[in-house]
Amino acid sequence: MDNLILKTTPNGRIFYVNGNNEVVKAQCNICNEIKPKEEMIHNKNRKYGITGECKECVKRYIRGNEIPPKKKQLTEKELTALKKMAVKSEIQFRYNNGLPLTYKKVCKEDRALTARAVRAFGTWVKAVEECLGIDYLTISRIELLQEKIPTLPQLNYSYMKSNNHSTLKLAREVYGSWENALKSLGYDYDSIKRKDCSHFGYELEEILISTLTELGCEFTTQDKTIDKSIQPDINLKRAPQVVKDLLEINNSHKVVLIDSKLSRHTNEYCDTERKYLPHCDKLIFVYARDYHKPEKLNDKTLRLPVHYLINLIESDTAKRALTKRLNKLLSECESYIATSWVAFCMLKISL
């Protein structure tokens, strides 16, 4: 009965209706059994087109000579529990069918439901959280993303990071990554993502963020509060001791910045180190490729492969998932480089 909604009358009689508010099953007033609509006495003048008795009970007890069983009267406590079940059924139906669940939107569509929920649970927020086991703030954020994402001109990561970072940040908080957000909302991520070097860099950043989250680190992303001239991938606020030991962080390091790079040599060809060092006590470059040991470039700078951080994760499931994402990234990156090199050579030959 997952796709049906439980309805009750003031005296506790049960109905099951579909999304069009048409009765599919109903409880008989005599035998108290829940039966399909076809087994109930039809009456087009009634609200749901049926009476309160099933055909079998009418035949046995009303038209026949048998004495009907004594009907059990529900207590006030049982009625309250039944009303809560009915509200829970309606809220779960809305959730399963992708219908809005924020108070203002539900009020516009079904004010009676919000009124019943408030009577049964005290508040609409409490009703939604108890019925679904999901934080109400998360639900409101999901609905905000569902409204906002379809209106965006582009959905690839590089565009979002440059032009709509607030939406990107919200999606990360709710779904864990931009890829998960798009997939959860029904988009084909593979057809959206832009296959170039910038895409692979952003993908590595997503893996790094997921890794630090699994390790229980506290951090901000794209933090402009340090200085307007820089925008580090990660501003590490707090980390467990095992992470501090790996990254060689101590109490004197108040500002720790982490930047992701595809290759261990990438920072040699960009000015990230020159720009970031004056604003931090520790600068860490985390790269995707190669399996070299962590390398100390100077007193304030360290670089290491991301797999060293992934290996610190205690959960084997999370560790395998992140390793799989990293291997996929490296495979796609290698294919892109190979394809780009072949195209470049063909162009040179043609010229």
| Residue 274 three-state SS | helix
pLDDT value at residue 118: 93
How open is the CA angle 124-127-132, to the nearest 5 degrees? 125
Sheet of 256-261, strands arranged across? 218-221, 234-238, 256-261, 282-287, 301-305, 295-296
pLDDT value at residue 241: 93
In contact, 239 and 214? CB cutoff 8 Å: no
pLDDT value at residue 128: 92
Residue-by-residue pLDDT tens, the chain, 351 positions: 557 888 887 777 788 888 787 888 888 888 888 899 899 888 888 878 888 888 888 888 877 777 777 777 778 888 888 889 889 988 988 888 888 999 999 999 889 899 999 999 999 999 999 999 989 998 899 889 988 988 888 888 777 877 888 898 888 888 888 888 888 888 887 777 665 566 778 888 889 999 999 999 999 887 777 777 788 889 999 999 999 999 999 988 989 999 888 876 665 556 788 888 888 999 999 988 766 788 888 889 998 999 999 999 999 999 999 999 998 888 887 777 666 554 445 434 433
pTM comes to 0.55
Neighbours of 73 (CB within 10 A): 9
Numbers of helices and strands, H then E, in the chain: 14, 12
pLDDT value at residue 350: 37
In contact, 171 and 181? CB cutoff 8 Å: yes
pLDDT value at residue 114: 92
Helices in the chain by DSSP H: which ranges?
A: 55-57, 76-96, 103-121, 124-132, 136-148, 157-163, 165-175, 178-184, 189-192, 197-214, 241-247, 272-276, 306-310, 316-350
Q: Tokens for 187, please give them.
A: 């988009």
Domain map (residue ranges) of the chain: 1-73, 76-134, 135-194, 196-351
Q: Which long-range contacts (CB under 8 A, 24 or more apart) does 328-336 make?
A: 329/200, 329/203, 329/204, 329/207, 329/288, 330/288, 330/289, 332/195, 332/200, 333/200, 333/262, 333/288, 333/289, 336/195, 336/196, 336/197, 336/200
